[in-house]
Amino acid sequence: MQMIKIKFFLYIILFSFIFSEIKIPPLDLNNWNILNKSRPWVGYQNYDNLPWCRTTDIFPYSIEKIESYIGNFETYSSTFSRMIASDLIDTNIVYLRVDYPLFLSDRDYLVEYKSFKDGQNVFYQWRAVIHKTIPEYNNAVRLVNAAGEWALIYITADSTKVSYSWNGELLGDFPNFSLNTAWETGGTEIINELRHAVENNYK
């Protein structure tokens, strides 16, 4: 009887995960609280009861050149300095772990991603999932509501607007008074490091 209750409880959790999909803010959403006005632009706001962040910049490269990096999740740990693990677990399911400094625990998340096109624009979206092979680790805080989007917006054949949006929840031991700094730093780093990777490959 106890085992039946446990299985039923797990089923409810999985069912909730599947049918309570996290909403990603649309690209035309306004009224962001600005964290950085210069390049790259970084802002945040509450959307659907979650603290969403967004960073944007213009890259002097085609969508195809940029997509070769953001569409390859397995190489994130060599593209982004704070990403210390980026492992493909299953079809379109990736385990990611982010290094945090000093006394703070690392953050990790397990997400399923999908890609699609809208005209000439390309999108990669991801949301948290549960997978039996990746338990929660004691030395990392699992971001159970992880979600985000890369949006590559066509400007010209050699110019692309890059937009990166993510759920800014950090949970665990992260102090609330440092969230704005963490969001600004994270948004700035990820855009600049992506630009650096593309520049090094196509200069």
pTM summary value? 0.87
Spatial separation of the C-alpha atoms in residues 86 and 72, rounded to whole Å: 10
How many folded domains does the chain comprise?
1
Query: Which residue range forms the structural domain that includes residue 139?
Result: 2-202
Q: How many CA atoms lie within 13 A of 118 on its CB side?
A: 6
| Pair of tokens at residue 85 | 């693990």
Per-residue pLDDT of the chain (203 residues; tens, 9 = 90+): 454 444 434 433 443 444 358 899 999 999 999 999 999 999 999 999 999 999 999 999 999 999 999 999 989 999 999 999 999 999 999 999 999 988 899 999 999 999 999 999 999 999 999 988 898 998 899 999 999 999 999 999 999 999 999 999 999 989 999 999 999 999 999 999 999 999 998 76
**Which one, of 61, 65, 19, lies nearest residue 156 by Cα?**
61
60 phi and psi, to 5 degrees? -85, 50
Question: What CATH number is attached to the domain comprising 51?
Answer: 3.30.530.20
